[in-house]
Amino acid sequence: MNKVLLMGQSNVGKSVLFNCLSGGGATVSNYPGTTVDFDKGRMAIDGKIVEIIDVPGTFSLQPKDKAEEVALKMLEGEKDAVVLCVIDSSKIERGLYLALELIEKGCPVIIALNMADVAKDANIRINAEKLEDLLGVPVVTTVATMGEGLKKLVERMKETRSVKIEGIMKSVGGG
Amino acid sequence: MKLTVDQRWDLVDRISKKTVTVGAYKATLKNALADVTVRPQTGIPFAIAVLYGFWTFFGEFAGLFTDGFFVRIFGTHWIPWIGEKLAGLPDWAFTILVGDRAVFAEGFPGDPCFAAGGVLTTGLFMPFGIVLWAVLALFLVLAVMEDTGYLPRLAVLLDTVMHKIGLHGFAIVPTLVSLGCNVPGVTAARALETRKQRFMIIALLGVFVPCGAQIGMMEELVPHLIGWVFLTLAIGYLGFGWVLNKIWPGESPEILMDVPPYRAPQWSNVWRKTWMRTRHFLFVAVPFVLLGCAIVMVLYATGAMDAIAGGLEGFLATVFGVPASATPSLVVGFLRKDLAIGLLPIEAMTTYQVFKSVILLSIYFPCLATFALLLRELNWKEILATLGFLVVTIFVFGGVLNLIGMAGGW
């Protein structure tokens, strides 16, 4: 692993996470579409320096504006990168949709269930272990703005792996 | 294997059924505030209150530093001191660095901060005495608005109005960001969906939205006119937006936008963002202000300014009703608009002429940094269209203002 792409929908906290992990200066705001171009930084995983890239938010892998085109191009251009898929825990379904798309594409994925504080405020509880069992990729709960869960996220980064969608369908089972 | 969209949503559904439990909705203060600020009946008064607070903070903050501190430092200490210290320089060097010797000899008619004109006097006073504090205040307030989540709510409120000119409510985000600096404003336009919307908002921003540096100079020099200036520019923004929407091909579809929950701003982030943008001003804008001052003084010293002014006199007077003495200001307007406003011969013009000149400078060619960005963001056809739009706007808008002035006898 020598590159990490931070991907996720807009306004889920990718840039906050990026700044925490790399000490970088990506612009952070509370509205969708703040990052319209990518930012690059560096972080250490197990003593090894890897490049981390803050990708503009994208709802799905079918781009609908210029910022999303940038996101898709990054993903296609960085074949050897692992993907840190950031999900807004209070809107988990749509985040999972993108995560599944990334998994189907064959990308090695780790999931950050970010904004756990917002989900808690909205009275939404997510069983992260169960989710991890079903998906077969690491799932870590985080609150990037407070720094919660970041250490664990970095520790588990090496467990990132690509899985088959068929396997997920099998472990989830029928409706 | 690749799933279809429906299969994928179905899988998401099954996964979330197994992992997510949703408790009862509890009304929190944040939720209540979120409701109040997007419902038109309560949201519009709230928005007016927010923008008024925004403006008051800006005026007080910038005024405190500029009038309370820097006008005195520069006017009574720095400028006379540097004038004395460098008095031995040859005339040309003194003119460029300090200013016109005649002005010094007369003991500064008017405000020495502006009357001097040299690179080390007025050239330093404008960016560090005025504009820095204005942009700092604007960047700070904008950062707070961005981080709390208020901007997208403003976008929802203004959506109906913006749709009348073919733009989505989200276009208000780049517009407000541009009040700090047009550069991040133009970049933010990328989040708009169609090429048409992006072109329109970039053209409108470049022409009708004054940046923090300009606003700071207006607030310092023509505070009594600033409300009229904003009103006029808003009319231009909406009017020309309406026309552009009619004539420029392409779609302006509805788009869905997420309205994020309110968050308390993280102060570390607010400071960092404010600092990053202020740093951009210091390193990118200040050199141009100094260069602009030097150019103007060279043009004066060589007599070239008189020639240019003479050549433009008839044109300026006929089309815009602006005296030839405003020429230097228009010349450096290409470089920096804040500097250009600082060079307007305010005492020598009528109030209406000052008003027209300030508007002209605002809708004038975008500053160099913004223009460089336009070249990157737009294709050649759109760039030509933007330039055409600029020229048409300047003549139509400037001409109409002139006619109104003539009709009113101002």
Domain range list for chain A? 3-172
Long-range contacts of B94-102 (CB under 8 A, 24+ apart): B94/B118, B95/B297, B95/B300, B95/B301, B96/B294, B96/B297, B96/B298, B96/B301, B99/B297, B100/B300
Please give, rounded to a whole number of angstroms, the shortest distance from the CA of B119 to a CA of chain A: 33
**pLDDT value of position B240:** 92
What's the whole-number average pLDDT of chain B? 87
Confidence band for B108, pLDDT divided at 50, 70 and 90: low
**pLDDT value of position B208:** 93
Rounded distance between C-alpha atoms, residue B221 and residue B59, angstroms: 13
Residue of B nearest to A33 (CA): B191
Partner-chain residue, chosen from B18, B25, B146, that has the shortest CB–CB distance to A30: B146
Model pLDDT for residues A89-101, shown as the tens digit of each residue = 999 999 999 999 9
Structural contact between residues A160 and A1, judged by C-beta atoms closer than 8 angstroms: yes
Proportion of chain A above pLDDT 70, given as a percent: 99
Structural contact between residues A78 and A71, judged by C-beta atoms closer than 8 angstroms: no
Residues of chain A positioned with their CB less than 8 A from the CB of B260: 11, 30-32
CB within 8 Å of B134: residues ≥ 6 apart: B58, B62, B66, B212, B213, B215, B216, B217, B219, B220
Residue of A nearest to B14 (CA): A175
Strand pairing partners for A143? A148
Rounded distance between C-alpha atoms, residue A159 and residue A108, angstroms: 9
Structural contact between residues B240 and B393, judged by C-beta atoms closer than 8 angstroms: yes
Rounded to an integer, the average pLDDT of B74-97 is 87
Rounded distance between C-alpha atoms, residue A103 and residue A110, angstroms: 10
**pLDDT value of position B164:** 86
Please give, rounded to a whole number of angstroms, the shortest distance from the CA of A161 to a CA of chain B: 17
Confidence band for B12, pLDDT divided at 50, 70 and 90: very high
Please give, rounded to a whole number of angstroms, the shortest distance from the CA of A88 to a CA of chain B: 11
Proportion of chain B above pLDDT 90, given as a percent: 28
Put residue B250 in one of left, alpha, beta given phi > 0 → left and psi -120 to 50 → alpha.
left
Q: Out of A79-93, B87-101, B243-257, B395-409, which region has the weakest mean confidence (pLDDT)?
A: B243-257
C-alpha distance from residue A137 to each of A46, A144, A156 (Å): 19, 20, 10
Both tokens of B349, joined, read: 């013009």
CB within 8 Å of B234: residues ≥ 6 apart: B208
Please give, rounded to a whole number of angstroms, the shortest distance from the CA of B26 to a CA of chain A: 7
> A3-172: what CATH class?
alpha beta
Rounded to an integer, the average pLDDT of B64-85 is 88
Residue of B nearest to A24 (CA): B272
Residues of chain B positioned with their CB less than 8 A from the CB of A121: 28, 30, 261
What number of other Cβ atoms are within 10 A of residue A33's Cβ?
A: 24
**pLDDT value of position A110:** 96
Model pLDDT for residues B176-231, shown as the tens digit of each residue = 989 988 888 888 888 887 888 889 999 999 899 999 999 999 988 899 999 999 99
Give 3-state DSSP helix, strand, coil % of chain A, rounded to 5.
Answer: 40, 25, 35
Is B29 or B183 the better-scoring residue by pLDDT? B183
Q: Which of B232, B140, B240, B139 is nearest to B184 (CA)?
A: B139
Rounded distance between C-alpha atoms, residue B222 and residue B229, angstroms: 10
Proportion of chain B above pLDDT 70, given as a percent: 99
Structural contact between residues A53 and A17, judged by C-beta atoms closer than 8 angstroms: no
**pLDDT value of position A28:** 77
Q: How far is CA B199 from the centre of its chain?
A: 18
Model pLDDT for residues B159-186, shown as the tens digit of each residue = 888 888 888 888 998 999 899 888 888 8
Long-range contacts of B348-355 (CB under 8 A, 24+ apart): B348/B323, B349/B322, B349/B323, B349/B325, B350/B410, B351/B225, B351/B410, B352/B405, B352/B408, B352/B410, B353/B321, B353/B322, B353/B323, B353/B326, B354/B222, B354/B225, B355/B222, B355/B225, B355/B228, B355/B229, B355/B401
Q: Are the Cβ atoms of A28 and B147 closer than 8 angstroms? A: yes
Q: Is the pLDDT of residue B45 over 90?
A: yes
Both tokens of B219, joined, read: 């607030």
Confidence band for A112, pLDDT divided at 50, 70 and 90: very high
Partner-chain residue, chosen from B24, B147, B193, that has the shortest CB–CB distance to A123: B24
A-B C-beta contacts closer than 8 Å: 131
Confidence band for B24, pLDDT divided at 50, 70 and 90: confident
Q: Is the pLDDT of residue A153 over 90?
A: yes
Please give, rounded to a whole number of angstroms, the shortest distance from the CA of A84 to a CA of chain B: 19
Structural contact between residues B369 and B285, judged by C-beta atoms closer than 8 angstroms: yes
Q: Is the pLDDT of residue B389 over 70?
A: yes
CB within 8 Å of B284: residues ≥ 6 apart: B369
Q: Return the H-helix or E-strand segment holding B135.
A: helix B132-148
Confidence band for A174, pLDDT divided at 50, 70 and 90: low
Rounded distance between C-alpha atoms, residue B312 and residue B319, angstroms: 11
Residue of B nearest to A27 (CA): B273
**pLDDT value of position B107:** 67
Interface of A with B in 56-85 (CB under 8 A): 64-67
Partner-chain residue, chosen from A11, A28, A37, that has the shortest CB–CB distance to B258: A11
Q: Which of A12, A70, A2 is nearest to A39 (CA)?
A: A70
Q: Are the Cβ atoms of A93 and B12 closer than 8 angstroms? A: yes
Rounded to an integer, the average pLDDT of B283-301 is 87
Q: Is the pLDDT of residue B104 over 80?
A: no
CB within 8 Å of B410: residues ≥ 6 apart: B350, B351, B352
Partner-chain residue, chosen from A27, A30, A172, that has the shortest CB–CB distance to B14: A172
Model pLDDT for residues B118-150, shown as the tens digit of each residue = 899 888 998 999 999 999 999 999 899 888 989
Give 3-state DSSP helix, strand, coil % of chain B, rounded to 5.
Answer: 80, 0, 20
Domain boundaries, chain B: 43-251+269-408
Residue of B nearest to A66 (CA): B190
**pLDDT value of position B87:** 85
Q: Is the pLDDT of residue A31 over 80?
A: no
Secondary structure class of A44 (helix, strand, coil): strand
What's the whole-number average pLDDT of chain A? 90
The alpha carbons of chain B give a radius of gyration, in whole angstroms, of 24
**pLDDT value of position A142:** 96
Rounded distance between C-alpha atoms, residue B97 and residue B105, angstroms: 16
Partner-chain residue, chosen from B15, B25, B257, that has the shortest CB–CB distance to A32: B257
Burial class (CB in 10 A: 0-12, 13-18, 19+), B146: buried
Residues of chain A positioned with their CB less than 8 A from the CB of B191: 10, 32-33, 36, 65, 67
Rounded distance between C-alpha atoms, residue B342 and residue B129, angstroms: 12
C-alpha distance from residue B288 to each of A27, B212, B335 (Å): 25, 16, 6
Q: Is the pLDDT of residue B10 over 90?
A: yes
Interface of B with A in 2-61 (CB under 8 A): 2-3, 8-16, 18-26, 28, 30
Give ∠ CA B336-B339-B341 in degrees, rounded to 5: 110
Model pLDDT for residues B341-350, shown as the tens digit of each residue = 988 888 888 8
Please give, rounded to a whole number of angstroms, the shortest distance from the CA of A63 to a CA of chain B: 10
Please give, rounded to a whole number of angstroms, the shortest distance from the CA of B184 to a CA of chain A: 10
Q: What is the largest CA-CA distance in chain A?
A: 45
Rounded to an integer, the average pLDDT of B253-279 is 84
Confidence band for A131, pLDDT divided at 50, 70 and 90: very high
Residues of chain B positioned with their CB less than 8 A from the CB of A145: 263, 266
Is B320 or A132 the better-scoring residue by pLDDT? A132
